[in-house]
Amino acid sequence: MTNPTAAILIIGNEILSGRTQDVNVNFLAKRLAVRGIQLQEVRVIPDVPHRIISAVNELRASYDELFTTGGIGPTHDDITSECVAAAFGVPWEPHAETFTMMEKAMAPGAFNAARQRMATMPRGAVPIPNSISMAPGFSIANVHVMAGVPRIMQSMYEALEPSLPKGTPIAMRAVHGMGIMEGAIAAGLSAIQDKYPPVDLGSYPFRREAAGGVAIVAKGTDPALLEKAIAEATQLIASHGIDPIQGEPV
């Protein structure tokens, strides 16, 4: 796999407290797969400076791209931006163009100290605009700092995507066997995995309203190999007297 690699760093007490169900990982995971970027790690950490600084430095060194979400608003708990500056060892300073843009757009006096923080970035950062709020995210080197609010994050990702590296899209194929047990097909699946090493073959029990079964999922950058692996998994399911269901079951 020569695709670029990536990690996501979620900075958010609200995820760790259980107050908020994260949905940003799932959005980014799907989009990165289409872009051919291999998501290899996700971390969720609290709004604590030394935790943010060390995680940013560890992850930006380990992966080609690092995406952060959360902590870039105007309130006291929004400390991602200055922590990224500290991680890079560069000054955290007003971004002239963003500062002017935000100041002009607001009523006199409304661009207060708290809002000015949203126009303050690590030196060298490139803003990531979004269509929902005035305040941008930013990229610095391979670190992409985005909002935690899902629709703002998604808008920032749309703006950012064209500047990201591209790999071979990571495709997925699935076949399902209703009523089958993983333990019954495990040996057969393992043999298929051994036959197609570049395919990442996974097995996932699932449940629907009435019944459950196993989903066999093949993932990789060579669609022809995925088809072959799934064809064999389909035969494996059929050999147990079960009608295989291609794609996603209802």
245 belongs to the binding site for a second copy (CB under 8 A): no
222 belongs to the binding site for a second copy (CB under 8 A): no
The dihedral built from the CA positions of residue 10, 12, 14 and 17, taken in this order, carries a sign that is positive
Range in contact with a second copy (rule: CB under 8 A) among 138-146, 157-165, 176-184, 236-244? 176-184
Q: Quick one: which of 217, 229, 236, 237 contacts a second copy (CB under 8 A)?
A: 217
DSSP class per residue in 147-209: -SSHHHHHHHHHHHGGGS------EEEEEEEET--HHHHHHHHHHHHHH-TTSEEEEEEEE-S
CB of 124 to a second copy, least distance (A): 25
Query: Nearer Cβ to a second copy, position 186 or 238?
Result: 186
CB of 100 to a second copy, least distance (A): 17
Range in contact with a second copy (rule: CB under 8 A) among 26-34, 157-165, 222-230, 233-241? 26-34
Burial of 193 (C-beta count, 10 Å sphere; 0-12/13-18/19+): middle
104 belongs to the binding site for a second copy (CB under 8 A): no
Cβ count near 123 (within 10 Å) = 12
Query: Nearer Cβ to a second copy, position 10 or 84?
Result: 10
145 belongs to the binding site for a second copy (CB under 8 A): no
Q: Quick one: which of 37, 146, 149, 175 contacts a second copy (CB under 8 A)?
A: 149
β-strand pairing of 200-207 with 212-220:
antiparallel
112 belongs to the binding site for a second copy (CB under 8 A): yes
Collect all residues with Cβ–Cβ distance below 8 Å to 6 and sequence separation of at least 6: 32, 37, 38, 39, 40, 63, 64, 65, 66, 67
33 belongs to the binding site for a second copy (CB under 8 A): yes
42 belongs to the binding site for a second copy (CB under 8 A): yes
Reading the block at residue 174, the tokens are: 């699935």
Distance CA 41, CA 23 (A): 15
CB of 247 to a second copy, least distance (A): 13
Query: Nearer Cβ to a second copy, position 77 or 93?
Result: 77
Q: Quick one: which of 96, 113, 210, 224 contacts a second copy (CB under 8 A)?
A: 113
Q: For 34, what's the count of Cα atoms within 13 Å in the CB-facing half-sphere?
A: 7
Angle at the Cα of 14 from the Cα atoms of 72 and 163, rounded to 5 degrees: 40
Q: Where on the chain is the footprint of a second copy (CB under 8 A)? A: 10, 13-23, 25-33, 39-47, 73-78, 110, 112-115, 118, 149, 151, 170, 172, 182-187, 189-190, 193, 200-205, 207, 217, 219
